[in-house]
Chains A and B, each alone.
Chain A
Amino acid sequence: SQQGEEDPQALSIQEGENATMNCSYKTSINNLQWYRQNSGRGLVHLILIRSNEREKHSGRLRVTLDTSKKSSSLLITASRAADTASYFCATGANSKLTFGKGITLSVRP
């Protein structure tokens, strides 16, 4: 399956700490994207990294991609209570994005 699998399934940290979430996939991809979902509603795009890129930054977000290991990580630095949400990786291949099951991040004030 092309579906990305996130790890861990749930993560609880203290405000101010860094949060690291991982995504692994099985076949070649064109790009990998991370999305956030609050309260079971619509997803919000966070960042896209192409298969020929290794690292990307956006504000407090850092995404890495290792195509040899077929894995990506999303790092949120200096977490805030407002970062509490579900995070999904989506792998782009064969003209389609396939979403994983998500990681639930809880940031304690």
Chain B
Amino acid sequence: GAGVSQSPSNKVTEKGKDVELRCDPISGHTALYWYRQSLGQGLEFLIYFQGNSAPDKSGLPSDRFSAERTGGSVSTLTIQRTQQEDSAVYLCASSLALTGLGTQYFGPGTRLLVL
């Protein structure tokens, strides 16, 4: 079946504009994660959705960042009033595991550049 997909692949925006990044998880996966990866760095956890439970937002770096997951499937990560330091690759992953500890399947990422 299809893997995790993300759109757009690349996004260039001007400082101060809002952006929306989309993630389509693998069908049937109850868990969905967003990470941020700056150039040459590891993955920074942003937010975790598990089924109908309240999301774990502990990794969101500021209140300019928000995410929602509609119908337990597609998720959108929104960054308001973008700053240059928001430039990074944003990765989405989904998982079947209910514990948050299982194998994660990653999308190809969205490369965001804020000018």
Chain A residues within CB distance 8 Å of chain B: 3, 30-31, 33, 35, 40-45, 48, 88, 92-93, 95-102
Contacts and interface: CB of A to CB of B under 8 A. Distances in A.
Interface residues of B, number: 25
Chain B interface SS verdict (over half): loop
A35 B95 CA distance: 14
B26 interface: no
Contacts of A33: 103
B47 to A, nearest CB: 11
A101 B42 contact: yes
Interface of B: 4, 35, 37, 39, 41-43, 45, 48, 56, 89, 91, 93, 99-109, 111
Given A96-B48, A99-B43, A42 B109 contact: yes
Contact of A102 (B4, B42, B102): B42
25 contacts: A30-B99, A30-B101, A31-B101, A35-B106, A40-B37, A40-B39, A40-B89, A40-B111, A41-B108, A42-B4, A42-B106, A42-B108, A42-B109, A43-B91, A43-B93, A43-B106, A45-B105, A48-B103, A88-B43, A95-B101, A96-B101, A97-B104, A99-B45, A100-B42, A101-B41
